[in-house]
Chains A and B, each alone.
Chain A
């Protein structure tokens, strides 16, 4: 057991930090309260660095996924999580802080929820990181739940009033249904193989497939589990909630929902696929993911095409990107998962970038969310306008932005694994997506100024995060090779573990 704890130092640190943050958020001194988001982000960046060091862990300290792959995934989640914490600064308790500052009322800890918000954020990120270390079905289930449960609360906290509550309830009930689904799938897998340990299950599955073929119970278990986990990815057919929830939550929480649960879902997919056969998956599993990928990207893009609400539009876009991620997952461990990991990181940055732009703007204290509100953004907020252009262009996969590099790699990996039809469908989808991304690129540059101007939100951090991401998307493509080589090496280890 001690060996396993060695591999979980960053997660334990984040759990401790969650407690600290929850307490500090109630401090009477406003300077300490204001530090909470920065402290959270700092902690996450440190955790990312620590997790990266986990690459060289001995296998007995790691979960079922190869230590190097798990380390890069965990490190990525914590890193992007740090940016998400910065984007969320200023989201919670905005009115309360305003009242306190103007002296209208004293600070009342009972009314403050900032500390809790960041504590929940840390818990959810920790959950996503733990998915990568899962070694048995119970661990996998608990880690996925730890990722999801805090997010239901964050949706309400991030936006006071009816819309936040509505979004949260929707998200919760559908999430509970998806949980039931994959839990049932886990139970069937256990029933079919008689083990909870992923390594044992993988062995049993492999030997059975060599002899008499995989039994129906286990196969059904895998299919149900994958479908249920697909909810975290917002993969079709469980994608319908995404746009409603994204619209209802505040922009910074939407950014969070667009990345952390999705990352957890992607990693859970890797764990389950590795268990089900890794490079040579059962035909039914391949068919299922193939169909999920096609449906997810097509439905996501179609849903985004006609949106006038920027959050719904990028909600649709994030569904479509889940479809692309599924292509990478299907391409198999090794090149496919290396490309998926890289794509997930890049997607996390671009998606966070667009919502950071939205979080950095307001009009009379409430959020800006119509596409038309972003018209001529670069005149009043040049940096934000250009960041939005860079992020949208990168989401479109426009060369030479980072999203293009990630997409090319993903396509290459998919072609390499023989999924040529899937790549052609993805290419057509990318072209369809260009329609609305182009609108989001044109709006801040050429659109008409909205009738009532938008202003900068009080916290400078979302804007700073958006600008930093915009610059990264433009610059990193020219220096991404090291990162890609390391990702590839990390994922190559996954294949080796499997072979042994």
Chain B
């Protein structure tokens, strides 16, 4: 089956939802996301490159050959997993919005579906301009979702979200244009083919060029991740977005940044990366600890979970820049796990908000008394989020830390430029996570019951309805599966990860030597 379907189905259903009668919008959107999920599962089961480092699903579709733009697609195993993450989360978002969204229903679902098409475009793109178009285009639906259905401070949240990300990615475009020009100069024609450009850039660009191209790419991707100190748009956007918006934002959109780092920064500019690893590692570690500390003092539950994303994504970046397979595998696994557990946490908070119209911890407490099922799920996903062994979060967080820990220059097989100190500092983030998440659970779930009067018009039962349970249960099962049996997934990531890292075992020692020389010169 053509991967083109994965983009066309949501896109065409978005158009039909926008013009369908109001009453059927929800149904059309649900069916569309479920069909997309089914198609993605079929494509995944036919995918021939799960256990090697090749790219499958290669599809060619011409666009503007005169500047090298096309809609070509391909995917390797990590990309396929992220495609599956997106197609799994989208029905959850749509079905989870059934009772929460009562105004301008058609538009709302149309934007959600457009968002799905754009996200899948990012993961499937084989052409850099196609990637860029899709990457940027995720902003529009998200902007309208926040600005149209968000909380009280939605106007400034949506604008901040849009401008932050747009500014970063304009610089990314400039950097990529430079790479494309150098490639055109050498080969005689414009091309934005990702494999070709990656192979070219990593070898033929000088160290200075690689460094600046990497900085340009980081400008776009670091904002999206978000890496400290350019994370400030995220808490606001998360807090103000409607529930489904937060789920997609945390679940998939942040991963576009880490995916960009994995797909472009690491393989394209290895010489630049080895120069910047210590700095990026430091920023990621600061993000982990700083995000966690901020979580600790939040009164707004949603804001707390939002800041926890800053902290969690710090681990993810740390794993990527460990430059060894365990770090990278952990990082990609983290992308999936964070999508599942943080997505579920946002859903759970949304469910409480729909009933009580507050997210203030001072006004909510002891909910186990009349929402036992909700409380059970809450405790479960909190445990998953704070990386309790046996659940999904543990494996990935542990691998990221191991990766960073073992990324020392004297590591025989995969020398790296981080080391135990980075892991130790980031490790404190795990402890802090336990503190703020358990504190959250303690106040929200246990203790004396306190809550504002429930909204009678919401049409929801006191505890979760079967629809809501139906949303959370699959996510919970996936969390358990990935916690107990991560090896299957890990094995599929290994070849692609090693391909991405191929250049580093040679580059890192040279970098270490040149740093030593520099130190000697400065010392002498």
Task: Report which A residues bind B (CB closer than 8 A).
Answer: 393, 398-400, 404-405, 408-409, 411-412, 415-416, 420, 423-424, 426-428, 430-432, 434-435, 438, 442, 445-446, 477-478, 480-481, 484-485, 488
| Interface of chain B residues 164 through 181 with chain A (CB within 8 A) | 166-167, 170-171, 173-174, 177-178, 180-181
Is B447 at the interface (CB under 8 A from chain A)? no
Known contacts A411-B177, A415-B178, A427-B170; is-contact A446 B163 (Cβ 8 Å): no
Q: How far is the CB of A151 from chain B (nearest CB, A)?
A: 34
Contact A423 B66 (CB under 8 A): no
> How far apart sit A192 and B144, CA to CA, in the bound complex (Å)?
59
- When distances are taken between beta carbons in the complex, the residues of chain A under 8 Å from B62 are 481
Contact B66 A420 (CB under 8 A): no
Top-6 shortest CB links A-B: A431-B167, A399-B133, A427-B170, A427-B174, A484-B66, A415-B181
Contact A400 B163 (CB under 8 A): no
Known contacts A434-B162, A435-B163; is-contact A423 B174 (Cβ 8 Å): yes
- For the complex with contacts A427-B171, A478-B63, A481-B66, 20 further pairs of A-B residues with Cβ separation under 8 Å are A393-B140, A400-B137, A404-B133, A405-B64, A405-B67, A408-B67, A411-B174, A411-B177, A412-B190, A424-B171, A427-B170, A431-B163, A431-B167, A432-B167, A434-B162, A435-B159, A438-B163, A442-B147, A484-B66, A484-B67
> How far apart sit A378 and B333, CA to CA, in the bound complex (Å)?
44
Contact B64 A480 (CB under 8 A): yes
Contact B166 A434 (CB under 8 A): yes
Q: Which of B63, B132, B133 contacts A481 (CB 8 A)?
A: B63
Q: How far is the CB of B115 from chain A (nearest CB, A)?
A: 15
> How far apart sit A464 and B13, CA to CA, in the bound complex (Å)?
28
Is B148 at the interface (CB under 8 A from chain A)? yes
Contact B148 A398 (CB under 8 A): no
Contact B136 A399 (CB under 8 A): yes
Contact B137 A408 (CB under 8 A): no
> How far apart sit A399 and B176, CA to CA, in the bound complex (Å)?
15
Q: Which of B136, B140, B158, B181 contacts A416 (CB 8 A)?
A: B181
Q: Which of A412, A420, A426 contacts B67 (CB 8 A)?
A: A412
Q: How far is the CB of B64 from chain A (nearest CB, A)?
A: 5
Q: How far is the CB of B181 from chain A (nearest CB, A)?
A: 4
> How far apart sit A311 and B489, CA to CA, in the bound complex (Å)?
56
Is B129 at the interface (CB under 8 A from chain A)? yes
> How far apart sit A409 and B66, CA to CA, in the bound complex (Å)?
9
> How far apart sit A82 and B139, CA to CA, in the bound complex (Å)?
35
Question: Which residue of B is nearest A418, CB measured?
Answer: B181
Contact A398 B140 (CB under 8 A): yes
Contact B66 A488 (CB under 8 A): yes
Q: Which of A400, A423, A427 contacts B133 (CB 8 A)?
A: A400
- When distances are taken between beta carbons in the complex, the residues of chain B under 8 Å from A393 are 140
> How far apart sit A424 and B175, CA to CA, in the bound complex (Å)?
9
Most buried by B among A399, A404, A411: A399
> How far apart sit A477 and B70, CA to CA, in the bound complex (Å)?
12
Residue interface bits B49-83, CB-to-A below 8 A is 1, else 0: 00000000000001111110100000000000000
Q: How far is the CB of B31 from chain A (nearest CB, A)?
A: 26
Is B277 at the interface (CB under 8 A from chain A)? no
- When distances are taken between beta carbons in the complex, the residues of chain B under 8 Å from A405 are 64, 67, 69
> How far apart sit A424 and B173, CA to CA, in the bound complex (Å)?
9
Known contacts A424-B171, A484-B64; is-contact A431 B166 (Cβ 8 Å): yes
Q: How far is the CB of A242 from chain B (nearest CB, A)?
A: 24
- When distances are taken between beta carbons in the complex, the residues of chain A under 8 Å from B184 are 416
- When distances are taken between beta carbons in the complex, the residues of chain A under 8 Å from B140 are 393, 398
- When distances are taken between beta carbons in the complex, the residues of chain B under 8 Å from A435 are 159, 163
Q: How far is the CB of A388 from chain B (nearest CB, A)?
A: 15
Contact A408 B173 (CB under 8 A): yes
- When distances are taken between beta carbons in the complex, the residues of chain B under 8 Å from A420 are 174, 178
Q: How far is the CB of B129 from chain A (nearest CB, A)?
A: 7
Q: How far is the CB of B378 from chain A (nearest CB, A)?
A: 33
- When distances are taken between beta carbons in the complex, the residues of chain A under 8 Å from B173 are 408, 411, 427
Q: How far is the CB of B281 from chain A (nearest CB, A)?
A: 26
Q: How far is the CB of A490 from chain B (nearest CB, A)?
A: 13
> How far apart sit A434 and B143, CA to CA, in the bound complex (Å)?
13
Q: How far is the CB of A178 from chain B (nearest CB, A)?
A: 32
Contact A446 B148 (CB under 8 A): yes
- When distances are taken between beta carbons in the complex, the residues of chain B under 8 Å from A427 are 170-171, 173-174
Q: How far is the CB of A332 from chain B (nearest CB, A)?
A: 14
Question: Which residue of B is nearest A446, CB measured?
Answer: B147
Contact A434 B163 (CB under 8 A): yes
> How far apart sit A416 and B181, CA to CA, in the bound complex (Å)?
6
Known contacts A411-B174, A478-B63, A481-B66; is-contact A399 B132 (Cβ 8 Å): yes
- When distances are taken between beta carbons in the complex, the residues of chain A under 8 Å from B174 are 411, 415, 420, 423-424, 426-427
- When distances are taken between beta carbons in the complex, the residues of chain B under 8 Å from A477 are 64
Contact B177 A412 (CB under 8 A): yes
- When distances are taken between beta carbons in the complex, the residues of chain A under 8 Å from B170 are 427-428, 430-431
> How far apart sit A315 and B62, CA to CA, in the bound complex (Å)?
36
> How far apart sit A428 and B180, CA to CA, in the bound complex (Å)?
19
| Interface of chain B residues 25 through 65 with chain A (CB within 8 A) | 62-65
> How far apart sit A416 and B188, CA to CA, in the bound complex (Å)?
12
Contact B133 A434 (CB under 8 A): no
Most buried by A among B67, B69, B184, B190: B67
- When distances are taken between beta carbons in the complex, the residues of chain B under 8 Å from A400 are 133, 137
Q: How far is the CB of B158 from chain A (nearest CB, A)?
A: 8
Contact A409 B148 (CB under 8 A): no
- When distances are taken between beta carbons in the complex, the residues of chain A under 8 Å from B177 are 408, 411-412, 415, 423
Q: How far is the CB of A34 from chain B (nearest CB, A)?
A: 35
Most buried by B among A404, A426, A434: A434
> How far apart sit A477 and B69, CA to CA, in the bound complex (Å)?
11
> How far apart sit A420 and B174, CA to CA, in the bound complex (Å)?
8
> How far apart sit A34 and B140, CA to CA, in the bound complex (Å)?
41
Contact A438 B162 (CB under 8 A): yes
- When distances are taken between beta carbons in the complex, the residues of chain A under 8 Å from B181 are 412, 415-416
| Interface of chain B residues 124 through 165 with chain A (CB within 8 A) | 129, 132-133, 136-137, 140, 143-144, 147-148, 158-159, 162-163
> How far apart sit A79 and B405, CA to CA, in the bound complex (Å)?
65
Q: Which of A399, A426, A442, A488 contacts B137 (CB 8 A)?
A: A399
Q: How far is the CB of B61 from chain A (nearest CB, A)?
A: 10
- When distances are taken between beta carbons in the complex, the residues of chain A under 8 Å from B185 are 416
Q: How far is the CB of A343 from chain B (nearest CB, A)?
A: 13
> How far apart sit A329 and B66, CA to CA, in the bound complex (Å)?
19
- When distances are taken between beta carbons in the complex, the residues of chain A under 8 Å from B144 are 445-446
- When distances are taken between beta carbons in the complex, the residues of chain A under 8 Å from B143 are 438, 442
Q: How far is the CB of A241 from chain B (nearest CB, A)?
A: 29
- A-B contact list, 21 entries, CB within 8 Å: A399-B136, A399-B137, A405-B64, A405-B69, A411-B177, A412-B67, A412-B190, A416-B184, A423-B177, A424-B171, A427-B173, A431-B171, A432-B167, A438-B159, A442-B159, A445-B148, A480-B64, A481-B63, A481-B65, A484-B66, A488-B66
Q: How far is the CB of B240 from chain A (nearest CB, A)?
A: 13
- When distances are taken between beta carbons in the complex, the residues of chain A under 8 Å from B69 are 405, 408
> How far apart sit A332 and B178, CA to CA, in the bound complex (Å)?
18
Q: How far is the CB of A443 from chain B (nearest CB, A)?
A: 11
Question: Which residue of A is nearest B65, CB measured?
Answer: A481
Question: Which residue of A is nearest B172, CB measured?
Answer: A427
Q: How far is the CB of B324 from chain A (nearest CB, A)?
A: 34
- When distances are taken between beta carbons in the complex, the residues of chain A under 8 Å from B171 are 424, 427-428, 431
- When distances are taken between beta carbons in the complex, the residues of chain B under 8 Å from A442 are 143, 147, 158-159
Question: Which residue of A is nearest B107, CB measured?
Answer: A445
